[in-house]
Amino acid sequence: MAVDEFLLSRLTDRPSTSLRFYQWERSTASLGCSQDAARAVDADFCRRRGVDIVRRITGGKLVLHDREVTYALVSSDDSLFSMTVTESYRRISKALSLGLRKMDLQPELAGAPPDDYKRGALPCFSHPGRDELQASGKKIVGSAQKRTGKKFLQHGSIPLEHDEAFLRSVTRLPDEVERMRMTSLSELLGRPVSFDWAVERLLEGFAEFFGATFERLSFTPEEREAIRRLQRQKYEDAGWTFRQLGPAS
């Protein structure tokens, strides 16, 4: 997450785009920027099970990063992505969709979610949001975006496998809530799916959709130190992760 924010911070007015795919060292719950941690995550359970908790700079709802592909795209190129959140979100979803089709899946853009999902503390993968991708009627990609003018960061999660019971334990999800509309690449394809295999096809989808070629990104020692400093000062700071966002309900 610190790398994602660093890539966003170093964008200039010159059109530039970076795309990352990564995994997490440990199971990690990421909170949306404006979420109330006390309502969204069971910190005691996470502590007992060794699940890390972080807060994103993007919005949206809690995501459990566990056996999945995380993608992150930062850009200042409005000729590719437009100046609006909605249109840039749709274009990235279409690129992701093309990558999923290269896995022999048939994803589609979802419509508007129900009001209880939009207003409540349900986790991200309980229901697809507008223009998020679903397959076989279940959510397969969850994404969130932060935009400053024409510069933006969008990142999201694509489960390789999923464990609904584990997600329910991490979140403060009431027992009476029905089964979540979530799925995974392995479930859809009926076989184990590796991170490298999935990323190769997702990258092909982005390259084809945007007519782009990619060069490997590397950081200088100074940039790596800036990322580590951001990690220490923000993403490892409980004051940021568990900050009080308003009066307790």
Contact 218, 231 (CB under 8 A): no
Q: Are strands 133-135 and 52-55 parallel, antiparallel or unpaired?
A: unpaired
Cα torsion angle, 209, 212, 216, 217, sign: negative
Neighbours of 145 (CB within 10 A): 18
What's the distance, CA 35 to chain centroid?
A: 15
Tally the residues of the chain. Answer: 249
Active site residues: 124
Distance (Å, rounded) from C-alpha 129 to C-alpha 139? 9
Cα torsion angle, 57, 162, 26, 225, sign: negative
